[in-house]
């Protein structure tokens, strides 16, 4: 069974983290030797060495670039700004990455310990068991692909929806039950792993993997070419949405993103007047957008790039790039469909299928057409 390395925090050289609590023991493993600490410890890296402070008195000195911290019992990360503490299974690891300023706090956890914290963070409590199980198979497949593709990197996934959300130790029994019932099960197509992409709501028409995620060959397969009909998610609160944003803010965000990414043609725009579909996939979902200014200048960009470009809007990011925008007075009124990239499993659609009595297998067949489920590890062999 693979381990997953989850990036929890990126820290700068002046930052610190506090790990553990009064009941815990922390074992620190480094090239300087192993040591055991009782209670909470504070870890910092003021210049190029680690400092660990706790009840045992400060231990300072040059340690390996990567330090492995074993907490006995679930590790605790105190919540920031009045938020509750978070508990984590597995180990903590602090790492300095070549060429990247600062350091990172990583949770190293087995796949089956990791997944309940994904399901609880990604799905609503009370959704059907089949929905949780289909999501478990998708999330396990996605994370396994990340592990395989990122062996050169310090971490495999983040704990945010940029990869898949993760809350540490899950408290929801449905999440644990779904992971247990699908132990070791992965999505495969022609004996190759399917990266089980998913999003909150496809808005009715699916995205294709290569458009939504990237032109990697692992994405150019039939199971990621989009689901068929009928539409399953039309009752989702995020199925269709409207957002009003000051036009000047949209223009400024586009220009800033253009500079950051070297996308020079956006500099031609003297404002934003209209955003409309410029191309769509075989299902009819927009893939490219045309942005026009008052003078008739226009640029074309992908739906995903529009979401990236407007991610920093004070009004919050767009829920999806499948949208249009029209100028009304000083504002752009966006009208969009769905929430997330729209490829693979649609969580709201999978919830509705579960409520209608569809099985885990039927949900997987609908959202990953042609994929098979195979158990690759675990004791729990089933027919
Ligand atoms: Zn959907």
Element (H, E) at 121: helix 111-122
CA of 232 to the centre of ligand 1 (A): 6
Residues of the chain with CATH 2.60.200: 3-110
Quickly tell me which residue has 């480094």 as its tokens. 30
> Which pLDDT does position 57 carry in this prediction?
55
| Omega within 30 of 0 (cis) for the link into 230 | yes
Residue ranges for the chain with pLDDT beneath 50: 383
Per the CB < 8 A criterion, the answer to whether 187 and 193 are in contact is yes
CA of 163 to the centre of ligand 1 (A): 19
Dihedral (Cα; 138, 139, 141, 147), 10-degree rounding: 160
CA of 256 to the centre of ligand 1 (A): 32
> Which pLDDT does position 232 carry in this prediction?
97
CA of 201 to the centre of ligand 1 (A): 5
Sign of the alpha-carbon dihedral angle for 331, 337, 338, 342? negative
CA of 225 to the centre of ligand 1 (A): 14
Instruction: Give the number of residues written for the chain.
Output: 383
CA of 202 to the centre of ligand 1 (A): 4
> Which pLDDT does position 62 carry in this prediction?
54
Distance, in Å, from the CA atom of 96 to the CA atom of 256, rounded to the nearest integer, reads 29
In 3D space, the residue among 365, 377, 364, 383 whose CA is nearest the CA of residue 115 turns out to be 377
> Which pLDDT does position 63 carry in this prediction?
57
CATH class given for the domain over 3-110: mainly beta
Tell me, rounded to whole angstroms, the distance of Cα 330 from its chain centroid: 34
CA of 135 to the centre of ligand 1 (A): 14
């Amino acid at each position: 069974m693979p381990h997953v390395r989850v990036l929890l925090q990126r820290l700068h050289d002046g930052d610190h983290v506090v790990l553990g609590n009064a009941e815990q023991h922390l074992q620190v493993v480094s090239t300087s030797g192993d040591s055991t600490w009782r209670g909470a410890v504070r870890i910092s890296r003021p210049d190029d060495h680690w400092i660990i402070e706790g009840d045992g008195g400060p231990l300072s000195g040059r340690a390996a670039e990567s330090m492995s911290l074993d907490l006995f019992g679930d590790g605790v990360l105190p919540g920031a700004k009045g938020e509750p503490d978070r508990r984590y299974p597995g180990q903590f690891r602090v790492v300095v990455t070549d060429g990247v300023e600062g350091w990172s706090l990583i949770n190293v956890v087995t796949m089956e310990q990791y997944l309940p914290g994904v399901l609880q963070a990604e799905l609503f409590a009370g959704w059907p068991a089949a929905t949780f199980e289909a999501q478990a198979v998708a999330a396990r497949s996605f994370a396994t692909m990340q592990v395989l593709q990122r062996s050169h990197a310090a971490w495999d996934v983040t704990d945010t929806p940029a990869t898949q959300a993760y809350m540490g130790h899950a408290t929801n029994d449905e999440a644990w039950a779904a992971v247990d019932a699908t132990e070791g099960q992965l999505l495969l197509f022609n004996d190759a792993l399917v990266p089980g992409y998913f999003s909150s709501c496809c808005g009715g028409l699916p995205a294709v993997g290569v458009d939504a995620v990237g032109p990697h060959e692992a994405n150019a397969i039939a199971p990621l070419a989009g689901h068929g009909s009928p539409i399953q998610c039309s009752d989702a609160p995020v199925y269709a949405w409207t957002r009003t944003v000051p036009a000047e803010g949209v223009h400024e965000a586009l220009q800033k993103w253009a500079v950051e990414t070297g996308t020079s043609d956006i500099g031609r725009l003297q404002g934003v007047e209209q955003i409309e579909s410029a191309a769509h996939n075989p299902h009819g979902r927009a893939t490219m957008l045309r942005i026009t200014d008052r003078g008739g200048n226009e640029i074309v960009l992908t739906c995903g790039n529009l979401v990236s470009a407007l991610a920093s809007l004070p009004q919050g990011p767009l829920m999806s790039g499948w949208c249009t925008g029209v100028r009304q007075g000083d504002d752009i009124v966006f009208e969009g469909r769905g929430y997330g990239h729209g490829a693979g499993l649609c969580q709201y659609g999978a919830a509705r299928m579960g409520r209608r009595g569809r099985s885990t297998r039927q949900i997987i067949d609908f959202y990953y057409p042609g994929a098979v489920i195979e158990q690759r590890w675990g004791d729990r062999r089933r027919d």
